[in-house]
Amino acid sequence: MPRYFLEVAYKGANYSGFQIQDNASSIQQEVEKALAVFYRQAFELTGSSRTDGGVHALQNFFHFDYEGIINSRQLYNINAILPADIVIKNIYPVAADAHCRFDATSREYRYYIYREKNPFLEDRAFFYPYTLEEGALQKAAAVLLEHRDYTSFAKRNTQVKTFQCTVFESSWSRTEEGLVYRVRANRFLRGMVRGLVGTMLQVGRGKLSVEDFVAILEKRDNRHADFSTPGHGLFLYQVYFPVSVLSGSTGE
């Protein structure tokens, strides 16, 4: 049966997360509902990267099987069914064994912080008006390239077989409004980016040293990390695949 990848973007403010859940609204639920309405049959989607409640995505993926031809011209109609805060950006025909989670080589997240009150940013960045030492933030971010075990930055009850992650990029940079933290890794644990950002902000404020940050990493105990940063500052920015996986795009 033909398999398709579905590229989506969304604002997560109104949803409890990406993956379908009992008694809670999710991105997956809304997309499955829209596809069912348009194609008049039920769809079961598999997601690429789970995002928590309130977290946004500029790019995420589902895959599904469908005995029929789907092309990009149908996107307008499906998007008209979806809520305004979710959009399907593209549909890709892929190999029958392609998997949007396991075939992804890395994911990139970005966390946005603004320093002065701005009502146009309040739902998509974290208002953090404190003085920060950017050099210390950069040193803390660079430390992650040297570590693999992120037990300290996984929320409790994270059900995974391993806490090992390979971080390829980790850095802070300035924006017109404030700062953005960029991190790319092969995989992320539940709450990992928010925990990293929250703890690094304590380094930036001088409440922790870079050495303290390293010690938290090495303790492998999440009681020492700061997970208080809100979800609305976090964006899943991009999911990376080998070129061969998406080479069958129907986009025109």
For residue 7, give every residue at least 6 positions away whose Cβ sits within 8 Å of its Cβ, in sequence order, or none.
59, 60, 61, 88, 89, 90, 91, 92
Q: What architecture is the 3-103 domain classified under in CATH?
A: 2-Layer Sandwich (3.30)
Could you tell me which of 124, 146, 35 has the C-alpha nearest to residue 82? 35
Does 22 qualify as catalytic in the annotation? no
Q: Is 106-237 the same fold as 3-103?
A: yes
Catalytic residue among 52, 103, 149, 221: 52
Return the pLDDT at 161: 87
Helices (H), the chain: 27-39, 75-81, 134-143, 192-204, 210-219
Question: How far apart are the C-alpha atoms of 227 and 52, rounded to whole Å?
Answer: 13
What tens digit of pLDDT does each residue of 197-226 get? 999 999 999 999 999 999 999 999 999 999
Helices (H) and strands (E) in the chain, counts: 5, 9
For residue 248, the model assigns a pLDDT of 55
Phi, psi of 195 (to 5 degrees): -65, -40
> For residue 1, what pLDDT is reported?
86
- Pairing mode, strands 56-65 and 234-240: parallel
SS3 readout for 53-115: CCCEEEEEEEEEECCCCCCHHHHHHHHHHCCCCEEEEEEEEECCCCCCCCCCCEEEEEEEEEC
| CATH topology classification for 106-237 | Alpha-Beta Plaits (3.30.70)
d(CA 177, CA 153): 27
What is the reported pLDDT for 49?
93
- pLDDT one digit per residue (tens) for the chain, 252 residues: 899 999 999 999 999 999 888 788 999 999 999 999 999 999 999 999 999 999 999 999 999 999 988 888 899 999 999 999 999 999 999 999 999 999 999 999 999 999 999 999 999 999 999 999 999 999 999 999 999 999 999 998 777 889 999 999 999 999 999 999 999 999 999 999 999 999 999 999 999 999 999 999 999 999 999 999 999 999 999 999 999 998 754 443
- In this prediction, residue 250 carries a pLDDT of 41
Q: What is the largest CA-CA distance in the chain?
A: 58
Please tell me the predicted confidence (pLDDT) of residue 196: 98
Locate the domains of the chain by residue range. 3-103, 106-237
